[in-house]
Amino acid sequence: MTGAGNDAMDVDAVDVTAAATGAERGAPGIAGAGPAGEGGGSRAGGDLDRRVLPLVVRIERSAPPERTDALEAAALAVLALLDDPRALDGGEWAEAVGAWDGSRFRKVVRRARGAEWRRVLDLPGVTVTSGTAEVRVHPPVPLDGWPRDLSRLQVSGTELADSREPGPPGDVVLWLNPGLTMSAGKAMAQAGHAVQLAWQASGDEARRAWRDKGLAVSVRTAGPAAWAGLVASGLPVVRDAGFTEIEPGSRTVVADVPWLRGAAGR
């Protein structure tokens, strides 16, 4: 297979998602979303035309980023792409982003350092920084059509740790499931899914207010009791397709967004 490779974290996709109203949206299964033999489906037919969002995290040997910073940078990168003028109607990325954003969206997190990172910066995309982390997001690419400088990057080796407890979260919080163990790369993709659901569920006025605050977003792990309440709240919930690391249908992240809480309660 060309491009996406066969690493465990290669294709990360949302299976079923819950909108702010609590009603589930999206299709209940994805056949063949990963490499041959992964996910139990065939990659024949229209699946070859599906797109995936490349996210590249900078991990230098001497100074790896903090885990929470990397998760927040990934979420911010997804927002930056969705809000970029090039991704909007008439923009050069609009067709690719629209096709990807309107389907069962997928994300792949890869790592780069040194010359690899410099080559990544020469490709179309947006770079964001959050604390110690730098993440570059690129327009969605076909599953089998990765640019060479992205396809050659490693998917494995993105495990990161926090050297200290993260501080208090801000207004918009992506709460991770405390009962799941995910690698940093997997969690970054899940945070990206959650923030994308929050963006989709937000109206123009809410998006403007969020934009005025720099699209700020925090990522934290919920307590067990709090997690149960969050899942039942009707806020956007990510349910993973289960191609890598965790069981299909696992609820991984809840997007706790202030302006969606009222809609969730109706």
What is the rounded average pLDDT for all residues in the chain? 83
**% of the chain at pLDDT higher than 70:** 80
Band of residue 89 on the pLDDT scale cut at 50, 70, 90? very high
Q: Which residues pair with 136 in a beta bridge?
A: 56, 127
Mean pLDDT of the region 240-265? 86
Q: What pLDDT, on the 0 to 100 scale, is given for residue 156?
A: 80
Measure the CA–CA gap between 133 and 114, rounded to whole angstroms.
15
Band of residue 193 on the pLDDT scale cut at 50, 70, 90? very high
Top-confidence residue, 98 or 33: 98
Band of residue 6 on the pLDDT scale cut at 50, 70, 90? very low
For residue range 195-215, what is the model confidence (pLDDT) as tens digits?
999 999 999 999 999 999 999
242, 218 contact by CB (below 8 A): no
Mean pLDDT of the region 213-234? 96
Mean pLDDT is highest, among 10-19, 61-70, 92-101, for 61-70
> Roughly what angle, to the nearest 10 degrees, separates helices 184-201 and 67-82?
40
Band of residue 101 on the pLDDT scale cut at 50, 70, 90? confident
Mean pLDDT of the region 95-115? 90
Tokens for 207? 């998006």
Closest Cα to residue 1, out of 45, 40, 52, 48? 48
Tokens for 71? 């998760």
Say which residue the tokens 């969050």 belong to. Answer: 230
Q: Which residues pair with 18 in a beta bridge?
A: 24, 237
User: Torsion angle, CA of 180/181/187/191, rounded to 10 degrees?
Assistant: 20
Which 3 state secondary structure label does DSSP give 31? coil
Per-residue DSSP letter, 156: S
For residue range 140-185, what is the model confidence (pLDDT) as tens digits?
999 888 999 999 999 887 789 999 999 999 999 999 999 999 999 9
For residue range 74-87, what is the model confidence (pLDDT) as tens digits?
999 999 999 999 99
Tokens for 88? 């909007």
Q: What pLDDT, on the 0 to 100 scale, is given for residue 90?
A: 93
